[in-house]
Copies of this chain bind each other. A is one copy, B any other.
Amino acid sequence: MAKQKKQPRPKAETPKGFRDYFGAEVVERQAMLSKIAEVYHRYGFDPLETSAVETVEALGKFLPDVDRPNEGVFAFEEDDKWLALRYDMTAPLARVAAQYRNDLPSPYRRYTMGPVWRNEKPGPGRFRQFYQCDADTVGAGSVAADAEICAMLSDCLEAVGIERGDYVVRVNNRKVLDGVLQALGLEDDDEITRAAVLRTIDKFDKVGIEGVWQLLTKGRLDESGAFIDGVGLTIEQAQIIGQFLQSKGDDAQETFGLLSQLIGESVRGAAGIEELEQIADLLAAQGYGPDRIVIDPSVVRGLGYYTGPVYEAELTFDVQNEKGQTVQFGSVAGGGRYDDLVKRFTGQEVPATGVSIGVDRLLAALHATGKLKGEDPGPVIVTVMDRDRMAEYQAMAATLRNAGIRAEVYLGNPKNFGNQLKYADKRRSPVAIIQGSDEAARGVVQLKDLVLGAKLAQDATLEEWKSQPAQTEVATADLVAEVQAIIARHQ
């Protein structure tokens, strides 16, 4: 073997666009996902975990960047096959539904949660690895499946702590839009124009109705000064599409009336409205009124593969954006019906519908509402006064743990006691336990209430210092009860 060359030291850094999650970030996400999984499971959905790696051919090209090969994904060649990290959970589900079609129950309801990877330009808050949490029903053509997912989405949001009234699930139907386009004389099979219209009206939130008009016709100068080419429709066509987006009435009946006017004679459009009526009826019968789920034609969803109902959960409370403006929190989940994805593999149409919850967005929302604090309570720290008595300190920590208290012995160099307390602070430890040999001989321990100590250090009067000693001596036999009492006091 050749002699090893001296190598330069490797850089300790996360790759560009990736990040690490520490402590409370991991705990809070896990807890939130567990609550969502519980709802999904209770609705009869079965968990599925596919591998992170798929063949590029199975993944297909459904990301916005469609022109360059492997664009948008992290791909590598193995055994003469191109493999890639999954970019969403829907493509792997379509693969599974095709691969195991003879073994899976039909309809197949499944949920899944985990990271997905996108090879996109990273930006603030925009990472190349992020979590999704999906639920889909494959093999059910009835819109009852779409309605069920909307109801379940509503339940999920409430289960994780979003209050009723702070969110709304909006439902639309691609078929109605298709009907509007047909009524405008835009050819049914003109996929390119349809896709351009979809992409444009998906920007309604950002550019407003006049922006949509401009983009649908001749184009528009965007904020950065760049000119965005228009789709080339006439002003009349653009205005009717604008009316479609704004046709949400005071109630579902009014909405359906407005939509009916826009679709003209389109059979597909009429079918779309009827599906929306069924969804509204099913949800009303189960008590999901428009305070939770509402028919709203302004919901479009960017992805091209949707073929029927589309839905989106929006959080309606206000937050400050990075410019300091007050805005609605916005979308945290979305989905819809995609009847053609499994067909790619098998040639047979398999109806499917499903939702994806944006895990990081929903976590951010729970932080914004104060439901999550980003804090994981630290362990009780047993300090080390005598290195020789390590076994006894360990036994003390074990006693606390056996009583269900998170506890550990300080395992750094014990020489500097100040470092031990600094460590306890950094860990957000509620209590430090101190026992030198004289205390051991007397059968006592010192308990330092670190929460109270920090409070006193910050703003206590002399009287408070005296009346609330942050450090107390207790019998070793009472250790568990006394520590529990201090922890309870600060909860």
Q: Which residues of A contact B (CB under 8 A)?
A: 1, 9-16, 18-23, 25-27, 30, 41-44, 46-55, 57-58, 60, 74-76, 78-79, 81, 83, 85, 95-96, 98-100, 105-107, 109, 115, 117, 119, 128-129, 137, 139-142, 144-145, 147-148, 151, 192, 281-282, 284-287, 344-347, 376, 378-379, 381, 390-392, 394-395, 398, 401, 404-413, 423, 426-427
Contacts and interface: CB of A to CB of B under 8 A. Distances in A.
Nearest to A405: B42
A48 B76 contact: no
A2 B140 CA distance: 35
A406 B44 contact: yes
Contacts of A49: 20-21, 25-26
Given A346-B12, A395-B285, A407-B42, A76 B75 contact: yes
Contacts of A107: 410-412, 423
Contact of A406 (B42, B75, B85, B142): B42
Contacts of A13: 55, 58, 95, 99
Contacts of A395: 285-287
Contacts of A78: 15-16, 74, 119
Nearest to A26: B47
Contact of A394 (B19, B22, B144): B144
Nearest to A393: B144
A105 B20 contact: no
Given A27-B47, A144-B394, 13 more contacts: A10-B57, A15-B81, A16-B79, A25-B49, A42-B404, A44-B408, A52-B52, A52-B85, A105-B426, A105-B427, A107-B412, A151-B394, A285-B395
Contacts of A43: 379, 401, 406-408
Contacts of A140: 411-412
A139 to B, nearest CB: 6
A486 to B, nearest CB: 17
Contacts of A46: 22-23, 376
A344 B144 contact: no
A208 to B, nearest CB: 29
B58 A409 contact: no
A57 B408 CA distance: 34
Given A55-B13, A391-B286, A48 B74 contact: no
Contact of A286 (B346, B398, B405): B398
A139 B413 CA distance: 9
Given A51-B15, A58-B12, A379-B44, A423 B105 contact: yes
Contacts of A27: 47
A99 B284 CA distance: 54
Contacts of A345: 9-12
B52 A15 contact: no
Among A21, A147, A287, find the residue whose CB has the most chain B CB atoms closer than 10 A. Answer: A21
